[in-house]
Structure 1
Amino acid sequence: MREGAVKHTGRRKGRSRFLVGMLSLATAIGMVGVTAGEASAKVNDTPLFKEYRVNSCGMPSYTSGPWKNKSKGEADGVKVRTWKKAGNYKTVILLDGMRAEYGYSGWEINTNVQKLVNAGVNVVEPIGGPASFYADWDGPSNFNGQPFTYKWRCVITKSLIRTLDANGFRVGNGKYAIMGLSSGGGAALTIAAQNRQNFDRAASLSGYNWMTAPGMRTAIRLSMLDIAPAPFNVDAMYGPPWSPRWSTNDAVNNLQGMRGMKIYVGSGNGIVGQHSFDTGSSAVSLFNDVFKGSPLELLSFTQTKAFEVFAAINGIPVMSSYSMGTHSWGYWQDMVWDAKNRGFFR
């Protein structure tokens, strides 16, 4: 855990990853809320932290796991952890990746981006939603016996926004920023494009921004089979591969909705870089970074480049960042600060 993250037990090695292998090459070839509870913490010794529970839009009102009974005395709603400071000029919502957990966001566990609060930007981190793509699903995932339907788009665009508005997070010009990593990256772009009344900037970090590209539906299907402790059925999300909902939720197909917004995309090139040893030097860590993180990042690299090309064709300017690196937290932290330093939040 990096400096600035709140300490707690039950850490994970926060990594959002797909099992895709050579499907990355196919993509490359295919394109030339109500408050119910709160707590406090400190950043730079200033009390800035609050935890909220927002209406779950029909999903379970607990965060200890997808279908465990709610603990006695636990507040209802989806948990959201926030860092806010008087006088800040922007609020950013940070979306997690494929392996999001129910206790803390990977952003808090693995990065220092909560310190944005001391640099003018309030930070909001919704908790939970593994393999959800932050979407409203068609139905429950039957592969893992999920007894409810994901409604994350409802939570983000309705419940969360209402709670943030009620608690003074709509600052500056009155609109929010949203950023996501990996499976949350394309979701962040699409959510912003379809909700311009609330968002004026969006960022995808190592994201999958062209979901209807050749091979991508299969890649996503395979990735959801790798989620512990049981696989998710991708057909429960947007329906079968020919369903129009795939296109509706594809960031490339929502480019016109991003016209006039600030857009930031970033990716590594799949080559082991400076952060490859951040999670330790064990053989397992090195294996995951080289043999899983590298192909995943190569896929996101081709997806990010493709999105940038489509944006240029449509005359939509995009801020971009490319570096040596794999599909891991150190590089995503760097991208957030790069975006900040280049004026993305202004």
Structure 2
Amino acid sequence: MREAKSTRRYGRKLTALVLAVLTAMGVMATSMGTGKADAAPGFQEFWIDACGMPTNGAFGNKSMAPGKVKVRAWKKAGNQRTVILLDGMRAQYDRSGWEIETNVQNLVNQGVNVVEPIGGPNSFYTNWDAPSNFNGQQKRYMWGCVIDNRLVPALRGRGFKGKNGKYAIMGLSMGGSAALVHAAKRKDLYYAAGSLSGYNFLTAPGMRTMLRVAMLDVAPAPWNIDSMWGPPWSPRWAANDPARIINQLHGLKLYIGAGNGFFGKYNYPKNVVDDFLKGTPLELLAFATTKAFEISATVQGLRPMTYYANGTHAWGYWQDMVWNAKRRGFFN
């Protein structure tokens, strides 16, 4: 895929900033945060086909539905919009971090149904080239198939309304860049995409190396990043990099946000060490790549909604971003 002119032009200017952040990071770590979900009405849980990929039983854990992906959702009669929320790198198999750590399920009380697919740690919600041989994965991830070809039809069949039959999709961290890519490639399914502290310039200098390091430390560790999109020179990296497919995002409503790495209202004293060593470097990286994406998007004639504030890589800030997006009409 040919690189957009704006990416070539501005990517070089941002290289120094990205490299500085990468150096400061040291080691990429988990999405951190605090918070607690409030009760929300209209809850339902259902299972969809896993497109042949491993489920939570793939690594020796008991699976309630082999070959299926669990979905937890909140729907209310009369709601005309639906958002699919993607998790971060340490996604669990019982509930989404969105449900565990935030109150965004309460969007259902304000006209927006909420859908959370469960599982997929380190998956980037994409179709992998091969199983991760480092940790004994038996079958390759197929999250591209699951989200677009199984989840969306299941939502339509269950009466989840959307704008002209299309849905919004948002994610945090790894789920942020994934949301942009899903929407870019399937504008027949999505009308809006949001990336919250996402890594929106995945082919920037050093990014693939840092992701390689990060994926060695997510259970069941270690993961082989070359099994995802191939080696660094594979064209699949560019095909899944939001900054490299900006021209495919025209016609979508976009929302991008990141903290500046400084401590804010959700950095509690008990978490100060982790927040400083992990949350701050991660958010600096998200901030740098999000700014790079914003510059390229603007040059290409896109006008994404943006959100920048004090904060680290933590759930409370992502919760604020979702409600900020709601107030500004992102779901309309």
Answer whether TM exceeds 0.5 for this pair: yes
TM-superposed CA distance for 1:43, in Å, is: 4.2
RMSD between aligned residues: 1.8
1:225 is paired with a residue whose SS is helix
Give the corresponding residue for 1:25: 21
Query: In structure 2, what is the Cα distance between the partners aligned to 1:173 and 1:232?
Result: 39
Matches within 5 A, 1:272-291: 272-277=263-268, 281-282=269-270, 285-291=271-277
Give the corresponding residue for 2:329: 343
Give the corresponding residue for 2:317: 331
Contact 2:86 2:170 in 1 (8 A): yes
What are the superposed Cα offsets for residues 6-63 of structure 1, whole Å, 9 maximum, x if unpaired? Answer: xxxxxxxxxxxxxxxx8553599xxxxxxxxxxxxx945x4x0110100100013x43
Query: In structure 2, what is the Cα distance between the partners aligned to 1:85 and 1:209?
Result: 33
Contact 1:24 1:298 in 2 (8 A): no
Matches within 5 A, 1:215-254: 215-254=206-245
| 2:308 equivalent to 1:317 | no
TM-score (norm. length: structure 2):
0.87
TM-superposed CA distance for 1:205, in Å, is: 0.2
Give the corresponding residue for 1:31: none
| 2:261 equivalent to 1:270 | yes
Query: In structure 2, what is the Cα distance between the partners aligned to 1:180 and 1:160?
Result: 15
Give the corresponding residue for 1:36: none
Query: In structure 1, what is the Cα distance between the partners aligned to 2:48 and 2:330?
Result: 27
TM-superposed CA distance for 1:102, in Å, is: 0.5
Give the corresponding residue for 1:142: 133
Give the corresponding residue for 1:107: 98
Query: In structure 2, what is the Cα distance between the partners aligned to 1:50 and 1:268?
Result: 33
Contact 1:53 1:76 in 2 (8 A): no
| 2:170 equivalent to 1:179 | yes
TM-score (norm. length: structure 1):
0.84
Q: From 131, 145, 161, give the equivalent of 2:152.
A: 161
TM-superposed CA distance for 1:257, in Å, is: 1.5
| 2:38 equivalent to 1:52 | no
Look up the equivalent residue of 1:189 and give its one-letter code: L
Matches within 5 A, 1:12-91: 23=19, 25=21, 43=39, 46=41, 48-60=42-54, 62-63=55-56, 65-68=57-60, 70-71=62-63, 74=65, 77-91=68-82
Give the corresponding residue for 2:278: 292
Which structure: greater helix fraction?
A: 2
Unaligned runs of 5+ in 1: 1-21, 29-41
Percentage of matched positions with identical amino acids = 58
Look up the equivalent residue of 1:259 and give its one-letter code: H
Distance 1:106 1:23, change over 3 A: farther
Look up the equivalent residue of 1:114 and give its one-letter code: Q
Unaligned runs of 5+ in 2: 1-17, 25-37
